[in-house]
Structure 1
Amino acid sequence: MSVDVRAAGAVLWRRAGDGFEVAVVHRPRYDDWSLPKGKVDPGETLAATAVREVLEETGYHAVLGRHVTQTTYDVPARSGHGVLKKTVDYFSGEAVSGSFEVNDEVDELRWLDPVAAERLLTRDTDTRVLREFCALPVSLITVLLVRHAKAGKRDDWTGDDDLRPLSDAGQRQADALRTLLPCFGPTRVFSAPRLRCVQTVRGVAEDLGVDVRHENLLSEEGYWPDPVLGIARLLAIAGDGGTPLIASQGGVIPDLISALADRDGTELAAARAGVVPSKKGSLWVLSFLPASGDVGPRLTSADYYPTPLPAPAPTRH
């Protein structure tokens, strides 16, 4: 399918008592009530677009979670002749700070419970997005799982493989991750004890003012003697609060995600012939239901971003 216009937005939400509210905005240009969204700027990822557009339209800084859905519809061409195909990717976005002020695009914002918000929304496409958002709880745990960026070929490196550094291309990927990952609000940083893994997330850790904690159970050498221990370690990290960022290796990530998906009945649509993708520099955004009673965190959603560089929409799982 040819896409002429790309856009992104979010279902912006905040806690309210024992429940939550979502933001619905009024756009005087169209005289409609909608969810905040806008067009992708050149050189911008969809996640960055969603965060920027939410801020511009609502005044709120959002931390993204799962990718909710993608809508596609026709819009008139600016020339006045013909139509264009427009796609909008929506994320879950928690409002963490800010306040609304009237701006060039939005003259009113209302915080409403989901039922009232659905009644107010003008377009059926927004209603479907809101319903998809409400299909899962808002209080999900996000784990950001990154494969280390490019580090050249192992056969070309004559030193200790643990010390093989990022290549120039890998450093560009790491720089792009440093821009992309803050959209999802990481709070802690972990890494397999390989230089290339640490270098991939070091910039994010520096921006957060935290150390990169080594996790041997999430390295290839540490994981495979007992994968159950590696999976348990990731779940323990997930249950410790905040949004952890973990850098690991291609020999670990596919098996770990497959095992969690099989255990929790989560479909991985990106898998082909049973193989879970894990390109160098790629990101998995894993969403877990919090632990309840004797049951630990359960994987309920997983989104794959094959590159941190500006790219097409993430594959939704």
Structure 2
Amino acid sequence: MSNPATVIAAGGAVWRESRGSRQVLLVHRPRYDDWSLPKGKLTPNEHVLVAARREIEEETGQQVVLGPPLGVQRYDVRRNGGTTPKLVHYWAAELAGQEQEFEPNDEVDQLEWLPVDKAKKRLSYPRDVDILNGLDAVIPVVSTVVLVRHAEAIKRKDWNGKDTARPLTSQGTASAQRLTGVLAALGVDKIISSDAERCVSTITPYAASVGLPIELHPEISERGYGADPSALEGIANDAWKPGNITAICSHRPVLPALSKALGLKVGKFSPGAFLVAHRLADGRTIRERFSAP
């Protein structure tokens, strides 16, 4: 009898530049005696980006920053005496800093850095080769922008104070806490926010966790945008500076114009939703949208 529940997993193609050659990291699993890309199942309520980074770091011992998506694998696995569909999401994952010492374990007993062409020959599964085939097309990334709508706030009709001081709900506060792991997985190193309390509170947990300042910009608040819509151009130019991984937190009425200034075409954002956009050296932009974590 088959089990209809889909298993969701995440992982990545870990890469680095070494002596003029691009290398990727493969893992050997003794249980299956195979060579594959690092991946693993999501824990309950875990965001897929957080899971991808966690599984990579647990299996390889290496710290990474997630980049553009590489695709999704779909196949069946044996489970509880039947078959279950499995979805595995992959991202390009750049090695962050120096290579860390690896300790073999029951799950992964060997690692090997290989040039991309040799890695394709070493991989045990054609589906992993398909993922690796997309790597060169999406790296290196010049800059990244993470565009965030603030998390759920108390409704205007239920708030008697100034609108700029309107706080998050308890659900919004919890979403802001979960956003911390997402921004960490993406390696955000610059934070821009509206000066409204609901935006600042959305981004503060991550800023505090990594010791980053929050650059407050009244011009991307609802009131500030209404006073001078042209100010968005300066924000966009700052966010796309080469080398930046910038999170920008703003408001639903401002986001369409802010997205346009950033050169992005997006629709409506629900509270806490975010867009990840990677700009490549050839001028292309690769985008992904996610609901609130």
Same-fold status (TM-score > 0.5): yes
* SS of alignment partner, residue 111 of structure 1: strand
Deviation by residue 1:229-252 (Cα, 9 ceiling, x = unmatched): 414422322206332221111112
Paired residues for 1:224-239 under 5 Å: 227=229, 229-239=231-241
Paired residues for 1:72-87 under 5 Å: 72-79=74-81, 82-87=82-87
Identity over the aligned pairs, expressed in percent? 36
Task: Quote the Cα distance in structure 1 between the aligned partners of 2:279 and 2:242.
Answer: 12
> Does the 8 A contact of 1:3 with 1:87 survive in 2?
no
Residue aligning to 1:288: 279
* SS of alignment partner, residue 141 of structure 2: coil
Residue aligning to 1:217: 219
Deviation by residue 1:110-136 (Cα, 9 ceiling, x = unmatched): 112211211211211111111122222
* SS of alignment partner, residue 134 of structure 1: coil
Q: 1:236 to 1:126 in 2, by over 3 A?
A: same
Paired residues for 1:30-69 under 5 Å: 30-69=32-71
Q: CA deviation at 1:212?
A: 1.2
Specify every segment of 5 or more residues in structure 2 that has no aligned partner in the other structure, as ranges.
Answer: none
Counterpart residue identity of residue 288, structure 2? D
Task: Quote the Cα distance in structure 1 between the aligned partners of 2:229 and 2:111.
Answer: 48
For the aligned residue pairs, the C-alpha RMSD in angstroms reads 2.2
Deviation by residue 1:82-132 (Cα, 9 ceiling, x = unmatched): 311000011121121523232212222111221121121121111111112
Identify which of 262, 272, 278 aligns with 2:269. Answer: 278
> Does the 8 A contact of 2:218 with 2:224 survive in 1?
yes
Specify every segment of 5 or more residues in structure 1 that has no aligned partner in the other structure, as ranges.
Answer: 263-267, 293-297, 309-317
Counterpart residue identity of residue 292, structure 2? T
Counterpart residue identity of residue 300, structure 1? T
Q: CA deviation at 1:223?
A: 3.6
Deviation by residue 1:53-88 (Cα, 9 ceiling, x = unmatched): 112211111111222211110112242xx3110000
Task: Quote the Cα distance in structure 2 between the aligned partners of 1:24 and 1:87.
Answer: 20
Task: Quote the Cα distance in structure 2 between the aligned partners of 1:139 and 1:99.
Answer: 26
* SS of alignment partner, residue 31 of structure 2: coil
Identify which of 284, 287, 292 aligns with 1:302. Answer: 287
Paired residues for 1:190-269 under 5 Å: 190-223=192-225, 227=229, 229-239=231-241, 241-258=243-260, 260-261=262-263
Deviation by residue 1:237-286 (Cα, 9 ceiling, x = unmatched): 22063322211111122343356556xxxxx6xx6xxxx13111112111
Q: 1:251 to 1:65 in 2, by over 3 A?
A: same
> Does the 8 A contact of 1:261 with 1:299 survive in 2?
no
- The two structures have a TM-score, normalised by structure 1, of 0.83
Query: How many residue pairs are counted as aligned between the two chains?
Result: 288
* SS of alignment partner, residue 60 of structure 1: coil
Q: CA deviation at 1:186?
A: 1.5
